[in-house]
A and B are shown apart, each in its own frame.
Chain A
Amino acid sequence: MMTRASSFSIVKTFLSCVIFCCDKGKAHNRLVQHPRKMSLLHVCCTTVRGFVKKGLFLESTYTACHRTAGYASGGVAKDKEPLKKAKTPQGRFDMDETESKSKVVFERFPDDVNPETKEKGGPRGPDPTRYGDWERKGRCIDF
């Protein structure tokens, strides 16, 4: 298995060298501006590139098979690794994950009953209408 992988990589590096030469030649040809002559080299390049792509594709399928083969043959350690989503960069207003999920600004009343007004199921925290408008977290709500 290891030899197969190494042989693939050798083939890949060989082909990439070929591509590099082709590209260089192609660039040179573009400077010279002989489109018809370029076409032969172009065809060679594309076919080689096609082979390389196919090779890469084969390699990727090979590695995929390798992975699945690994699962089937008893990769219990691999099963436990969950597939992780890549994280987007943290924005200015994003909360740090280490911080608590919801900063409790208003605490719950015992049994949800406001001790002063004896209101059950009412708004938490100080009375929203204490300033003449409906206030919540510094915002005034219009309704």
Chain B
Amino acid sequence: ITDVALLMFLTNKNTFCCFIQLPAVCQASNRKLHFSIYGKKGDAKVSDGISTQYPVVDHEFDAVVVGAGGAGLRAAFGLSEAGFNTACVTKLFPTRSHTVAAQGGINAALGNMEEDDWRWHFYDTVKGSDWLGDQDAIHYMTEQAPAAVVELENFGMPFSRTEEGRIYQRAFGGQSLKFGKGGQAHRCCCVADRTGHSLLHTLYGRSLRYDTSYFVEYFALDLLMEDGECKGVIALCMEDGSIHRFRAKNTVIATGGYGRTFFSCTSAHTSTGDGNAMVTRAGLPCQDLEFVQFHPTGIYGAGCLITEGCRGEGGILINSEGERFMERYAPNAKDLASRDVVSRSMTIEIREGRGVGPVKDHVYLQLHHLPPQQLATRLPGISETAMIFAGVDVTKEPIPVLPTVHYNMGGIPTNYKGQAITHENGEDMVVPGLYACGEAGCASVHGANRLGANSLLDLVVFGRACALTIAETNTPDTRHNPENCDLFIYLSFFLIGEKLSPLKPNAGEASVANLDKIRFANGSTRTSEIRLNMQKTMQNHAAVFRTGDVLKEGCEKMDSVYKSMDDIKTFDRGIVWNTDLVETLELQNLMLNAVQTIVSAEARKESRGAHAREDFKDREDEYDYSKPLQGQVKKPFEQHWRKHTMSYVDPKTGKVTLEYRRVIDSSLNADDCAAIPPAIRSY
């Protein structure tokens, strides 16, 4: 007993000593929390510059990144690594961004399974984009792809391996060897079946190593523009309702896509195109918004996609009369016709009134005529999926499906370095201080159609490109974090480090006025009703089936829905965690994206990639590439459609103006990689 007592006394004494020593240990440690409310040095100043009712907190940074998905995180820690004082403003916690749902893989020409060359990947991507992609940006992306994947693997992303220990690559659609002549290429690297989830967690974990300031659950309202230069972002802190102005010389937008403009989409509820809308309100154009990728069989109401393998295994699509309608549209291939044929047939059936359900707006996918054992062995897990998402027993009832949006190719136009551009007098002009990457940006690597497994690659490559471009053209202002440098460097940066240019004290006034107006809106229609109207209109008129009259009717309906926004009614008048207010702001953003999508689609009178029209079934280029080029007259720029759409909106009236911009047909270095001349796209 005495021994035990002595032991206890000693251990207690040790803990007692530890408690005494603890403050000293804390002081010596340099470790700071990655999450700081008011920036690093607490140099945030509160001012009454905009309004006495909405005091504004001003922050100063070297760079601000809006959005914390794959691209945003990569840009943010790339900038922090280069020594910049970076803020990452995001409305969601970083690991909740929609990147987490991308379970597939990343394409890269590593050459682990067979001999591979990034130039063949370049060819596949240019062809997949239907020659609407900018070839210099595609050159940049495919050349950097192997280095980007190896870098991710060095960050700790656990890719699946071959026996020798190299990264395992599998075959995925659209990838070929030897410029399309060498058969299927194996380029898709994955992490079990959760690549996007793993990518996001790896990037977030890596970003904690650097000194980025995260402003989580801050909703970015608008860009602060002065004289055509972007000087920062104004945001609403959802947690306490305060307005924050982030002044920075460089702003990177990585806010993701806008799937939620359509009724049926696979995107999260937070994919509302905030970045595109911010840029539109700043008077800058958005590019190629009419190119939206659809998948034929998405579960009605849930937004999950049912694999094409269901139809491959014998599943059939039926309408309200129980008829296998694909026999009429594709007599030979029937349900195994290509995706766009199936999507268009489904939409035509619904439009002609043979849809199922209470509002007759979808069709059924029937699998219960197949033997259950075959379903269980060939498609394991499908009964679980059908029960959870559709609430049906797949061995007894059909699954309700309709064509679903899953990716937006368009976005903020950038060059291959990630700098946002605008189009004036036929020339591309860089917008100083503004960058975009990820799904929000359109460096146009995807063009008119995105190949699978290229979007995760797009995120990391262009996120890194934005960080590198900013690092090349700016020096960090080290007055904000002197302890990271020694005295000599500190002094030199003090002398040559760049100060922020002055900003008007009432910058961002319009955004706050808009916020106030919405907060106290007292019209007659709720936010949810207007949103549903918009989504239904877009699904009926701007979805897969596009013809002239359907699109024109859709444009007029969207115009009236846009005007009905003046009559909106919100219920929550508070300012702390006002989700009614935030949803209404998101609806404003969605509206801007939706009107641009439908008006651009109506104007583009051809079928190219994901934009397929019934009345103009062919692609219209400057030459007719299905015939030999000799003897053909080149069509002038106004008469062909191989060009990018640049759309501007007047936010007050909702009127869209369109301009067109040339596609960049030359690669970065013609000796290294020859540009691919346009040809007919056939697989």
**Complex contact A121–B160 (CB within 8 A):** yes
| Interface 9-mer from A19-27, A30-38, A52-60, A125-133 | A125-133
A136 vs B105: C-alpha distance in the bound complex, in angstroms? 13
Q: Contact at B192–A143, with CB atoms within 8 Å?
A: no
Nearest chain B CB to A127's CB is how many angstroms away? 7
Identify which of A127, A129, A140, A142 contacts B306 (C-beta below 8 A).
A140
Q: Fill in one digit per residue for A64-103: 1 if any B CB lies within 8 Å of its CB, else 0.
A: 0000000000000000000000000000110000000001
- Are A138 and B386 in contact, CB atoms less than 8 angstroms apart? yes
**Which B159-205 residues have C-beta < 8 A from chain A?**
159-163, 168, 170-173, 188, 190-193, 195-196
Q: A103-B384, A133-B452, A142-B407 are in contact. Are A123 and B193 (CB under 8 A)?
A: yes
Residues of chain B with a CB closer than 8 A to A125's CB: 380-381
Task: Check A143–B384 contact: CB distance below 8 A.
Answer: no
Contact of A143 with B104 at beta-carbon distance under 8 Å, contacts A93-B387, A121-B192 already known: yes
Identify which of residues 377-411 in chain B touch chain A, using a CB-to-CB cut-off of 8 Å.
Answer: 378-388, 391, 406-407
**B193 close to A119 (CB less than 8 A):** no
Residues from chain B with a CB closer than 8 A to the CB of A42 are none
What CA separation (Å) do A45 and B170 show in the bound complex? Answer: 81
Query: Does A4 lie at the interface of the complex (its beta carbon under 8 Å from any beta carbon of B)?
Result: no
Distance (Å) between the CB of A110 and the closest chain B CB? Answer: 14
Is A12 part of the binding interface, using a Cβ–Cβ cutoff of 8 Å?
Answer: no
How many Å from the CB of B393 to the closest CB on chain A? 12
B455 contacts partner chain A, Cβ-Cβ < 8 Å: yes
Contact partner, B168, options A122, A130, A134, Cβ 8 Å: A122
A124-B193 contact, Cβ under 8 Å, with A118-B162, A143-B455: yes
Is B103 on the interface with A (CB-CB < 8 A)?
Answer: yes
Residues of A close to B378: CB separation below 8 A: 126
A129 touches B163 (CB 8 A): no
Q: Report chain B residues within 8 Å CB of A105.
A: 380-381, 384
Residues of chain A lying within 8 A (CB to CB) of residue B388: 93
Quote the shortest CB–CB distance from B308 to chain A (angstroms).
Answer: 5
> Within 8 Å of chain A (Cβ to Cβ): is B574?
no
State A106–B103 Cα separation when bound (angstroms): 16
- List of A residues within 8 angstroms of B195 by Cβ: 143
Q: Closest approach, in angstroms, between the C-beta of A67 and any C-beta of chain B?
A: 33
* Inter-subunit contact A138/B307 (CB<8 Å): yes
Indicate if B301 sits at the interface (CB-CB under 8 A).
no
Which applies to chain A's interface (DSSP): helix, strand, loop or mixed? loop
CB contact between A119 and one of B158, B160, B308, B455 (< 8 Å): that residue: B160
In the assembled complex, the CB of B549 is this many whole angstroms from the nearest CB of chain A, namely 30
Q: Is B464 an interface residue (CB 8 A)?
A: no
Tell whether B102 is near chain A: CB-to-CB under 8 Å: yes
Query: How far, in Å, is B637 (CB) from chain A's closest CB?
Result: 34
The answer to whether B453 has its CB under 8 Å from any CB of chain A is yes
**Across the interface, which residues of A come within 8 angstroms of B308, CB to CB?**
131-133, 140
The yes or no answer to B305 lying at the interface (CB within 8 A) is: yes
Residues of chain B with a CB closer than 8 A to A142's CB: 102, 104, 266, 293, 295, 305, 406-407, 452
Task: List, in ascending order, chain B residues with CB within 8 A of A131's CB.
Answer: 307-309, 312
- Contact partner of A134 (CB less than 8 A), chosen from B104, B160, B391, is B104
**Shortest beta-carbon distance from B302 to chain A in Å:** 10
Of the candidates A118, A130, A141, which one forms a contact with B103 in the assembled complex, judged by CB atoms under 8 Å apart?
A141
Instruction: Give, as a whole number of angstroms, the nearest-CB distance from A114 to chain B.
Output: 9
- Considering only residues 341-362 of chain B, those with a C-beta below 8 Å from chain A are none
Of all chain B residues, the one with the shortest Cβ separation from A142 is B406
Answer whether A143 and B196 are a contact pair too, CB < 8 Å, given A105-B380, A120-B163.
Answer: yes
Distance of A118 Cα from B165 Cα, bound (Å): 11
Question: In whole angstroms, how far apart are the Cα atoms of A106 and B381 in the complex?
Answer: 8
**Given A120-B163, A121-B192, A124-B193: A134 in contact with B103 (beta carbons within 8 A):** yes
Q: Chain B's nearest CB lies how many Å from the CB of A10?
A: 50
Chain A neighbourhood of B103, CB < 8 A: 134, 136, 141, 143
Decide yes or no whether B233 CB sits under 8 A from chain A. Answer: no
Measured CB to CB, the nearest residue on chain A to B170 is: A129
Contact B192 A124 (CB under 8 A): yes
How far apart are the CA atoms of A86 and B331 in the complex, in Å? 59
Docked Cα-Cα span, A129 to B172, in Å, equals 7
**Chain A positions within 8 Å of B190 at CB level:** 122-123
Instruction: Please determine whether A143 and B385 come into contact, CB atoms closer than 8 angstroms.
Output: no
- Are B381 and A137 within 8 A (Cβ)? yes
Assess the B168–A120 pair: CB atoms within 8 A.
Answer: yes
Determine whether the beta carbon of B172 is less than 8 Å from that of A139: no
A33 vs B312: C-alpha distance in the bound complex, in angstroms?
Answer: 79
The interface residues of chain A lying within 8 Å CB-to-CB of B104 are 128, 134, 141-143
Interface presence of B456 (CB below 8 A): yes
Task: State whether A122 touches B192 (Cβ < 8 A).
Answer: yes
Known A132-B308, A138-B385; contact A119-B162, beta-carbon cutoff 8 A: yes
Q: CA of A128 to CA of B384 in the docked complex: distance in angstroms?
A: 17
With A and B bound together, what is the CA distance between A123 and B305 in angstroms? 19
- Is A135 a contact partner of B307 (Cβ separation < 8 A)? yes
Residue B145 at the A interface, CB < 8 A? Answer: no
Q: Smallest Cβ distance from A9 to chain B, in angstroms?
A: 47
> Is A119 a contact of B385 with CB atoms below 8 Å?
no
Taking a contact as CB atoms under 8 Å apart, the answer to whether B162 and A138 are in contact is no
Task: Check B102 against A141 for contact (C-beta < 8 Å).
Answer: yes
- B residues sitting closer than 8 Å to A (CB atoms) are 101-105, 158-163, 168, 170-173, 188, 190-193, 195-196, 266, 293, 295, 297, 304-310, 312, 378-388, 391, 406-407, 452-453, 455-456
Q: List 28 A-B contacts (CB under 8 A).
A: A118-B163, A119-B162, A119-B170, A120-B160, A120-B163, A121-B191, A122-B168, A123-B192, A127-B170, A128-B193, A129-B172, A131-B308, A134-B104, A134-B172, A135-B307, A138-B307, A138-B379, A138-B384, A139-B307, A140-B305, A140-B306, A141-B101, A141-B102, A141-B305, A142-B305, A143-B105, A143-B195, A143-B456
Contacts A106-B380, A128-B193, A139-B307 supplied; 16 other A-B pairs, CB < 8 Å: A105-B380, A118-B162, A119-B168, A121-B160, A126-B380, A127-B170, A129-B170, A135-B379, A137-B380, A138-B385, A139-B306, A140-B295, A140-B305, A141-B103, A142-B293, A143-B195
Top 8 nearest A-B pairs (CB, nearest first) are A137-B381, A138-B382, A143-B104, A131-B309, A143-B102, A123-B193, A135-B307, A122-B160
Interface residues of A (CB under 8 A from B): 92-93, 103, 105-106, 117-143
